[in-house]
Amino acid sequence: MKKLLIIEDDIAFSNTLSRRMGKYGFDCKVVNDEHDILMVCASFLPQYILLDMKLTTQSGLQFIEPLKAVCPDSKLVLLTGFASIATAVEAVKLGADDYLTKPADTKVILQALIGKSAVTQLPDKVMSPERLEWEHIQQVLKHNEGNVSQTARQLNMHRRTLQRKLQKKPAQR
């Protein structure tokens, strides 16, 4: 299994990113506190590192060289919401393998980590809008213990419309 260290001070974003990357076979470890970065890296020994550029009190740029010293063979990708050519050049000079701006699509992150050709061989995990809607309806219906009328009211749709949608189960994708 591929080990991925996610260094991000935004807890919700890092957890979402961890779940997404886990679906593609990564064993993810998340670090939200910049004081734990090097210790976790040394104990986890990841092959891949996603590093946020703007951490709580420090710049992620300060951690590139120490992280590469602990895990010299790891592929390090810097993520930033504050992109500039100067920081991209500095990140690469310090040892970052890639530089991505947020919000970064999961496939773009995967391409930066494992390469474009490897990503095309991965199964697509994205649900169609129809499938996503059907799954949501099923959850609300379950919450309402199968009561179609109550579910229709909660979803703000006519009961007959809901019944038609329930009869049409879309494909998995």
Residues of the chain with pLDDT under 50: none
Q: pLDDT value at position 118?
A: 60
Residue 1 near residue 26 (C-beta atoms within 8 A): yes
Distances (CA, A) of 64 to 4, 60, 101, 120, 166: 15, 7, 17, 29, 51
pTM: predicted TM-score of the whole model, two decimal places: 0.68
- For each of the domains in the chain, give its residue range(s) and CATH number, in order of start: 2-120 (3.40.50.2300), 129-167 (1.10.10.60)
| Confidence (pLDDT) at 120 | 59
C-alpha to C-alpha distance for 61 and 66, rounded to whole angstroms = 10
What are the phi and psi torsion angles at 5 (to 5°)? -100, 120
Separation between Cα atoms, residue 165 and residue 145, nearest integer Å: 18
Look at residue 161 and give its three-state secondary structure: helix
Q: What is the pLDDT at residue 50?
A: 95
- pLDDT tens digit sequence for 75-117: 999 998 777 888 888 888 999 999 888 777 888 888 888 886 6
pLDDT reported for residue 62? 93
pLDDT in the model for residue 4: 95
Q: How many CB atoms lie within 10 A of CB 162?
A: 20
- The answer to whether residues 50 and 17 touch, using CB atoms and an 8 Å cutoff, is yes
CA 121 – CA 127 distance, rounded (Å):
18
User: What's the pLDDT score for residue 126?
Assistant: 56
Q: Which two tokens stand for residue 158?
A: 């006519």
**Alpha-carbon Rg of the chain, whole angstroms?**
21
- Cα angle, residue 18 at apex, residues 16 and 19 outer, rounded to 5°: 65
pLDDT score of 124:
55
pLDDT at res. 106: 83
Amino acid identity, position 112:
A
